[in-house]
């Protein structure tokens, strides 16, 4: 639609325009209901079909077998920081955490609050600018799980490969979910807030493998027991968010699924990092071997220039480029729904800005 800008927000983030137009079209009257999808029971056949379709699409896109449960929960990834150890950190055992950024630290803090959580590795010594090499990790083979953050939204780093350890992986995939293929067998649980790569804020996707689920602590408060939500809709889900997620998943499948998406994401990141590396004016903050393909973080020679960059970019129709408030600098979030044209427009703007102020 005319008037839409190129959006590099870290989350909530850009959604496919085709999805928004579809929603606009069918919002007042959904199918033959004579009412919107927001105004009907979550037990209706129409909503049940949306829920089932979204779950089927997720299974298909990720190649999840029958042993996987797909849940649509609330409370954001932040509630998962607590819910994961509440369910899976045994009273007489421990869990390991890879500390690669602020979100990982928050997850670790919640686990420590509940029991014995250990740091298997950390990159805080160099301001989270890298992913620690697996050879330096100290993973306890008796740990109930190893928790890691596949993509560090604030620091612009990402695991280049999936950890390969003896214990089940638990992954906070909030900022790179469905951006590339994964190896489901290695995981016990994967969670992601929807508002970056899969839809709007309001729903958290949780994938749990059946054998891992069976290891959970008992008893648990009903709403926080993953088992409560397996195989059924227990309470009113965030229907509008799930409805949008279903459309985003169909859009993703239409593009060719994860292999196609991964290729596009690789290309976008490659173009942007090449531009950053082309001169000293722009300086990437993540170590090259740990760079994120989702959140590209960089600095300019001064904070004043950074502020100017954000303002002038906005004038040029490029929004959401300010770095996280805790670290400053600039950040271009180039999630699935960010088209390659947006990255090209950003690169042209970077060329112009350097010529003018460099
Ligand atoms: N984990 C990661 C990697 C994130 O990027 C974020 C949000 N920026 C969160 C967790 C927290 O998510 P929420 O706000 O949905 O609780």
The last residue of one of the domains, among 238, 254, 270, is 254
Residues 211 and 330 in one domain: no
Range of the domain at 313: 256-357
pTM for this one?
Answer: 0.98
Residues 239 and 308 in one domain: no
Residues 163 and 283 in one domain: no
Considering the domain boundaries, does residue 240 fall inside one?
A: yes
Pocket mutation for ligand 1, best pick of 78, 176, 238 (most atoms within 8 Å of C-beta): 78
Residues 347 and 203 in one domain: no
Considering the domain boundaries, does residue 5 fall inside one?
A: no
Helix (H, G, I), strand (E, B) or coil at 356: helix
Residues 211 and 263 in one domain: no
Q: Which atom of ligand 1 is nearest to the CA of 195?
A: 15
Instruction: Count the Cβ atoms, other than its own, within 10 Å of residue 108.
Output: 22
| Spatial separation of the C-alpha atoms in residues 48 and 144, rounded to whole Å | 34
Considering the domain boundaries, does residue 67 fall inside one?
A: yes
Residue with tokens 């397996």: 230
Q: CA 49 → CA 45, 57, 72, 238, 246, distances in Å? A: 6, 12, 14, 15, 10
Residues 116 and 50 in one domain: yes
The last residue of one of the domains, among 229, 254, 279, is 254
| Spatial separation of the C-alpha atoms in residues 143 and 95, rounded to whole Å | 5
Residues 213 and 150 in one domain: yes
- Torsion 152-185-76-81 (CA) sign: negative
Residues 49 and 145 in one domain: yes
Q: Which atom of ligand 1 is nearest to the CA of 101?
A: 3
Tell me how far the alpha carbon of residue 28 lies from the centroid of ligand 1, in angstroms.
31
- Residue 101, both tokens: 């950024």
Considering the domain boundaries, does residue 11 fall inside one?
A: no
What is the signed CA dihedral for 223, 228, 234, 240, rounded to 10 degrees?
A: 70
77 appears as a binding residue in the annotation:
yes
Q: What is the CATH number of the domain that holds 333?
A: 3.90.1150.10
Protein residue with least CA distance to atom 14, ligand 1? 76
Tell me how far the alpha carbon of residue 188 lies from the centroid of ligand 1, in angstroms.
20
Q: Residue 3's pLDDT is what?
A: 87
Pocket mutation for ligand 1, best pick of 77, 192, 297 (most atoms within 8 Å of C-beta): 77
* Cβ of residue 93 lying under 6 Å from some atom of ligand 1: no
| Spatial separation of the C-alpha atoms in residues 309 and 354, rounded to whole Å | 10
Helix (H, G, I), strand (E, B) or coil at 125: helix
Residues 80 and 146 in one domain: yes
Digitized pLDDT (tens) for each residue of the chain, 358 residues in all: 578 999 999 999 999 999 999 999 999 999 999 999 999 999 999 999 999 999 999 999 999 999 999 999 999 999 999 999 999 999 999 999 999 999 999 999 999 999 999 999 999 999 999 999 999 999 999 999 999 999 999 999 999 999 999 999 999 999 999 999 999 999 999 999 999 999 999 999 999 999 999 999 999 999 999 999 999 999 999 999 999 999 999 999 999 999 999 999 999 999 999 999 999 999 999 999 999 999 999 999 999 999 999 999 999 999 999 999 999 999 999 999 999 999 999 999 999 999 999 9
Q: What is the CATH number of the domain that holds 169?
A: 3.40.640.10
Considering the domain boundaries, does residue 295 fall inside one?
A: yes
Does the bond joining 219 to the residue before it have cis omega, within 30 degrees of 0? yes
The last residue of one of the domains, among 254, 273, 301, is 254
Residues 218 and 350 in one domain: no
Helix (H, G, I), strand (E, B) or coil at 241: helix
Quote the number of domains for the chain.
2
Residues 222 and 266 in one domain: no
* Cβ of residue 12 lying under 6 Å from some atom of ligand 1: no
């Amino acid at each position: 639609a005319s008037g839409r800008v190129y959006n590099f927000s870290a989350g909530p983030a850009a959604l496919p325009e085709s999805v928004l137009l579809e929603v606009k079209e069918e919002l007042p009257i959904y199918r033959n209901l004579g009412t919107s999808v927001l105004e009907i029971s979550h037990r209706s056949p129409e909503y049940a079909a949306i829920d089932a379709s979204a779950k089927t699409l997720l299974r298909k896109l990720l190649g999840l077998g029958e042993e996987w449960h797909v849940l649509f929960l609330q409370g954001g990834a932040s509630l998962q920081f607590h819910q994961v150890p509440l369910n899976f950190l045994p009273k007489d055992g421990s869990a390991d955490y890879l500390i690669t950024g602020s979100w990982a630290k928050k997850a670790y803090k919640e686990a420590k609050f509940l029991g014995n959580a250990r740091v298997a590795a950390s990159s805080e010594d160099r301001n989270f600018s890298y992913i620690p090499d697996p050879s330096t990790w100290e993973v306890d083979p008796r740990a109930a799980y190893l928790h890691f953050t596949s993509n560090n939204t604030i620091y612009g780093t990402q695991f280049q490969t999936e950890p390969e350890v003896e214990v089940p992986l638990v992954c906070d995939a909030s900022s790179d979910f469905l951006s590339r293929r994964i190896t489901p067998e290695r995981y016990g649980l994967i969670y992601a807030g929807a508002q970056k790569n899969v839809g709007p804020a309001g729903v958290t996707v949780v994938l749990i493998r059946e054998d891992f689920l069976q290891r959970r602590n008992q008893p648990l408060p009903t709403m926080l027991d993953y088992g409560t939500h397996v195989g059924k809709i227990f309470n009113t889900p965030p229907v509008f968010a799930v409805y949008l997620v279903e459309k985003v998943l169909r859009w993703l499948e239409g593009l060719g699924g994860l292999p196609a998406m991964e290729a596009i994401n690789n290309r976008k990141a490659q173009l942007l990092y090449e531009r950053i590396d082309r001169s000293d004016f722009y300086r990437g903050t993540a170590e090259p071997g740990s760079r994120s393909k989702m959140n590209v973080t960089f600095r300019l020679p001064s904070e004043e220039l950074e502020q100017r960059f954000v303002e002038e970019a906005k004038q040029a129709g490029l929004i959401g480029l300010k770095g996280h408030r805790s670290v400053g600098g600039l950040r271009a979030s180039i999630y699935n729904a960010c088209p390659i044209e947006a990255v090209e427009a950003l690169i042209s703007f970077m060329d112009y800005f350097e010529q003018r102020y460099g």
